[in-house]
Amino acid sequence: MKGARADGRLLLLAALVLLAGALLPWVGLRPNRIAAPEFQSLSPVLRAAAVALAALVAASGVRPAWAWLPGTTSLVGGVAALGALTSAAVANAGPLARASASSGVWVWLLGAAVALYAAHAGARGRARWLVWVWALPVLALLLGGHLGAWSVLVEGRTEGERWTAEVAQHARLVLTALGVALLLGGPLAVWAGTSSARGGAVLGVAGALQTVPSLALLGLLIAPLAWLAAHVPALRAAGVSGIGVAPALVALTLYALLPVLRNGVVALRGVDVGALDAARGMGMTPAQVFWRVQLPLALPVWLAGVRQATVLLVGVASVAALIGAGGLGVYIFRGLQGGAADLILLGAVPAALLAVLADAALRGVERLLAGRMRSET
């Protein structure tokens, strides 16, 4: 009963947010990428429909499990309205004109998301999947070209191959740094896990490194790497220099070490002593105990650290663009310098999606491993 009342209040909040979104400007039309926008609001008909939808969301508080229907309609309707309004805005404008989503769209979508969250919380069993019904129509609108006039997608088409290359470079930076951190952090966690003193020292150093701001760490690495490149021909031939990919990879690896080390040490120490004693009692050697008992039991917790490191790296890798390492940060900083929000979104949205996808994939592997462990024990 308390849960139903909480969902009802959440739906009322969602309705108020939707109402605020309907009253704010929805589209900003600019004659070019960096010019000041001229804001456009919903037409009276669309605004009346939006107010009616907000009222339906509020009314669904009586049966929160059914809130998925007005929530889905609000979300899909908001995306469809964005496509129609941006297309209409640039129809008679010049080729350099940009029609971007304004505050009303984002506030409206936030309200729809809150409504769907309340519906998910109020539903039971398979009915919870209904809150994802919006995904198919939104995907159809996106792939069908309905959002083709939205400034972010216009910038994406303009950048074309360069954008694809920067996404690939972002992924390469993350995967390479994560791989090096695992190669270094794995053995180090095993070594530190056998002694409290060693564990405290290793985690203290890794924690201290992570307290250094990413931008400052990149700056601190420029001088020593430039010196090494100037005095070690092999490093210079390998492409190491004070700026570019090398300092970015060093900084990203240092940032990934703490979650890998911390979870590794905690996971290895947390293995049930009885299980280890039983393995030794069966005549297993120390190596067999580690590889066949301790490591498999510790792996789900250790993998959680790898997941945290991956999500952290996807975000921090954006800063690497400042020293010429490339990646999606290129668009974020170009947008900040030129005051172009579309370019910022062109870098920030894919980076956020990469982080969400990596988190979901690794979380799935964690659950799979944990389930297998439970079934074997």
Closest CA relative to residue 228, chosen from 253, 247, 205, 212? 247
| Mean model confidence pLDDT for the chain | 87
The DSSP string of 287-306 is HHHIIIIIHHHHHHHHHHHH
Domains contained in the chain, CATH given: 1-149 (no CATH), 158-376 (1.10.3720.10)
Select the more confidently predicted residue: 218 or 117: 117
Is 212 a residue whose pLDDT tops 90?
no
Structure tokens at 99: 């029609």
Is 3 a residue whose pLDDT tops 60?
no
Is 377 a residue whose pLDDT tops 90?
no
pLDDT score recorded for residue 138: 94
Is 156 a residue whose pLDDT tops 90?
no
Give 74-104 pLDDT, tens digit per residue: 999 999 999 999 999 988 787 788 898 999 9
Select the more confidently predicted residue: 363 or 194: 363
pLDDT score recorded for residue 5: 60
pLDDT score recorded for residue 337: 84
4 in Cβ contact with 98 (< 8 Å): no
pLDDT score recorded for residue 271: 85
Is 158 a residue whose pLDDT tops 80?
yes
How far, CA to CA in Å, does 49 sit from each of 16, 45, 52, 111, 118? 15, 6, 5, 15, 22
Query: What span, in angstroms and rounded, lies between the C-alpha atoms of 72 and 366?
Result: 31
pLDDT score recorded for residue 200: 82
pLDDT score recorded for residue 222: 82
Give 229-244 pLDDT, tens digit per residue: 888 888 777 777 778 8
Question: 3-state SS string over 114-161?
Answer: HHHHHHHHHCCHHHHHHHHCCHHHHHHHHHCCCCCCEHHHHHHHHHCH
Query: What span, in angstroms and rounded, lies between the C-alpha atoms of 70 and 77?
Result: 10
- pLDDT class of 197 with cuts at 50, 70, 90: confident
Query: What span, in angstroms and rounded, lies between the C-alpha atoms of 365 and 256?
Result: 19
Is 352 a residue whose pLDDT tops 80?
yes
| Mean of pLDDT values over 126-147 | 89
Query: What span, in angstroms and rounded, lies between the C-alpha atoms of 182 and 176?
Result: 10
Longest dimension (CA), the chain: 81
Select the more confidently predicted residue: 87 or 199: 87
Query: What span, in angstroms and rounded, lies between the C-alpha atoms of 84 and 77?
Result: 10
**Residue 145 Rama label (left phi>0; alpha psi -120 to 50; beta):** left
- pLDDT class of 136 with cuts at 50, 70, 90: very high
| Mean of pLDDT values over 4-23 | 85
The DSSP string of 220-289 is HHHHHHHHHHHH-HHHHHTT--SSSHHHHHHHHHHHHHHHHHHHHHHHHHTS-HHHHHHHHHTT--HHHH
pLDDT score recorded for residue 2: 53
Is 193 a residue whose pLDDT tops 60?
yes
| Mean of pLDDT values over 23-34 | 87
Cα 350 to chain centroid, rounded = 8
Kindly tell me the burial class for residue 284, based on how many C-beta atoms sit within 10 Å of its own C-beta (0-12, 13-18, 19 or more).
middle
List beta partners, residue 317: none
Is 23 a residue whose pLDDT tops 60?
yes
Give the pairing type, strands 27-30 and 98-101: antiparallel
Question: 3-state SS string over 189-206?
Answer: HHHHHCCHHHHHHHHHHH
pLDDT score recorded for residue 6: 60
| Mean of pLDDT values over 109-119 | 92
pLDDT score recorded for residue 140: 94
Cα 317 to chain centroid, rounded = 12
Give 168-192 pLDDT, tens digit per residue: 999 999 999 999 999 998 899 888 8
Q: 103-122 and 2-23 helices cross at what angle (nearest 10)?
A: 170
The model's pTM? 0.78
Cα 265 to chain centroid, rounded = 26
pLDDT score recorded for residue 32: 80
Give 289-341 pLDDT, tens digit per residue: 888 888 888 888 889 999 999 999 999 899 888 888 889 999 999 888 877 88
Contacts of 231 (CB under 8 A, 6+ apart): none
3-state class of 31 per DSSP? coil
Is 33 a residue whose pLDDT tops 80?
no
Query: What span, in angstroms and rounded, lies between the C-alpha atoms of 56 and 350?
Result: 33
